[in-house]
Structure 1
């Protein structure tokens, strides 16, 4: 009796395993069918799909890199200005500390530029901070203009591909002397429109992230400017350290 039950359980387990394998095969087949469909769409779009695809890869790389680089914790780390107050209070601010501060973050680079020239007066200190800020902002905005170019260029590439495809379609009909077949013409036009759709699929997200990243840079710049003003006012004796804030 126990042997019979074991055999029945084994058969059920085998059937479940077979069903699972069949389901897995179906999923794999469905995946490859989808991949083939995408590849067919790419081929139907013609050679203009190549620059659009390259643009999408470049845009994706820029967005990923900038999102990682423009983190607030990296650009304007918390308690950084508070640490500077501690160094000043304990008279530990020396060349080594300035070097450490300069390498810590973009905000640290700006603060270090001001502290290194604090003995030369307010105006010189502010000028050094502004020069360092210009370098930092340039680094923060790296690749963002390129992303904006991709956002503007991708839809135009798609439109160009569609126009070239339409020219090929009508040239084929005119050259062969065939009467216009509505179904064939519609199929050709639909293929020609693939590049326009692809260009918009690249351009629309690129526009969004271009605006988003530019806004992120503006917010970071405002925050760094506020911290730099606090530093100048405290070092030059126009503001008390306790009132300077302790966020950074």
Structure 2
């Protein structure tokens, strides 16, 4: 069954013409990037940022791989080693978490933008093949003929949209989550540098 699926996939890619291999590669890269972001963009811990910082100061935060929880743990540890130049030290210590939150964001946006254009290129190539075949009155030919040209045009258009539309929707959802997490990391810095009392209000 698996071998039959591979044969069918190969036939599908072959019918789509020269644009299909880049589209397949783009699909794999897109969902790798989205999967990485989905696994990385986790908060860690519940409650407002202020409450997380308070728990961190009491040593009750626990171990979490979420970005905000990691930021709280690092910030509280730095605070315990002295408050002098604390904000620059926090910026430096939490920079890699902010980089992790943004990783693969540009890649996924680029693929979502380029995929429909690749599909359009395949459509143009397929229609060119179709018109050439019409001129020769060849329904089928070694290069594809009318049927092959129409098939290529339809498959590449479909593939381009199939890559771009889900990637656009998921990418935007993850982009909003990324921004919320980055905002909360900034709140962690504000709460720790200002002290618990009088620190700016934080949202959940």
Give the TM-score, by structure 1 length: 0.62
- Identify if the C-alpha distance between structure 1 residues 128 and 41 changes in structure 2 by more than 3 Å, giving closer, same or farther: same
CA distance, structure 1, for counterparts of residue 21 and residue 13 of structure 2: 9
The separation in 2 between residues aligned to 1:143 and 1:113, in whole angstroms, is 29
Q: 1:82 to 1:218 in 2, by over 3 A?
A: same
1:223 maps onto 2:184 in alignment? yes
Q: CA offsets per residue over residues 112-160 of structure 1, 9 Å max, x none? A: 4555451x2xxx3223323444432122100111011111111111111
Structure 2 residue runs without a partner (length 5+): 60-68, 140-144
Cα separation, partners in 2 of 1:33 and 1:136, compared to 1, 3 Å: closer
Cα RMSD (Å) = 3.7
Query: Higher Cα Rg: structure 1 or 2?
Result: 1
Q: 2:28 — aligned with what? A: 57
Contact 1:147-1:210 at 8 Å conserved across structures: yes
CA 1:244–1:193 in 2, change beyond 3 Å: closer, same or farther? Answer: closer
Answer whether contact 1:70 1:140 (CA < 8 A) is retained.
yes
1:150 match: 111
Aligned residues: 189
The residue correspondences of 1:67-216 to structure 2 (distance < 5 A) are 67-73=38-44, 80-86=52-58, 105-113=70-78, 115-116=80-81, 118=83, 120=84, 124-174=85-135, 178-179=136-137, 185=146, 188-216=149-177
CA drift of 1:107 comes to 3.9
Are residues 1:46 and 2:11 paired? no
TM-score by length of structure 2 reads 0.73
> Tell me, which stretches of 5 or more residues in structure 1 are unaligned?
1-27, 88-103
TM-superposed deviation, 1:105? 2.0
CA contact (8 A) 1:114 1:128 kept: no
The verdict on how the C-alpha distance between 1:231 and 1:106 changes in structure 2, with shifts beyond 3 A counting, is: closer
Q: CA 1:111 to 1:244, structure 2 compared with 1: closer, same or farther past 3 Å? A: farther
For the 8 Å contact 1:137–1:221, the answer to whether it is kept is yes
Q: CA deviation at 1:67?
A: 0.9
Q: 1:33 to 1:127 in 2, by over 3 A?
A: closer
| 2-structure distance, mates of 1:201, 1:110 | 43
2:64 paired residue number: none
For residues 202-225 of structure 1, the C-alpha deviation after alignment (integer angstroms, 9 at most, x for no partner) is 011111122111111111122222
Q: 1:161 to 1:219 in 2, by over 3 A?
A: same
The alignment partner of 1:162 has SS state of helix
Indicate how the Cα distance of structure 1 residues 159 and 117 shifts in structure 2: closer, same or farther if over 3 A, else same.
Answer: farther
